[in-house]
Amino acid sequence: MIIVGVLTAQAGEYTYLTFEMTDGTKASVPVTSLTMTISGQTMKVGSETFVLTNLSKMYFSTANETTAIDETTLSSIDEAVDIYDLQGHKVKKDQMKRGVYVVKTKSRTYKLIVK
């Protein structure tokens, strides 16, 4: 006998799915028409992209809890421990072309747009 189950979740009055990173920063994504895709080392949720190893937890919330949207400097790139493209591939500084990257330093993780 084979049992097949479907897991469904209801957010009820919660309007955001909030992700907390290992550095304590948070990003909230509206739950309306929410899509989630995992590919390699990254997870795309709505318009946000996360490196899976940087995620600490996720939970439903009633308010947007996004924190720490800071500008980064060139010195942050020089301090980079790891750099990933949005497909989760590790790249070197000299391999960075136009696009979006996740830059991890010893103290923080940044999303970086190279123009």
Higher pLDDT, 113 or 61: 61
pLDDT band at 2 (very low <50, low <70, confident <90, very high): low
- Give the DSSP letter string of the chain: -----------TT--EEEEEETTS-EEEEE-TT--EEEETTEEEETTEEEEGGGEEEEEEESS----------HHHHHT-SEEEETTS-B--GGG--SEEEEEE-SS-EEEEEE-
pLDDT value at 7 more than 50:
no
- Please write the tens of the pLDDT for every residue from 50-81: 889 889 999 999 988 887 555 555 565 667 78
Domain residue spans in the chain?
Answer: 16-61, 74-114
What is the pTM for the complete model shown?
0.52
pLDDT band at 47 (very low <50, low <70, confident <90, very high): confident
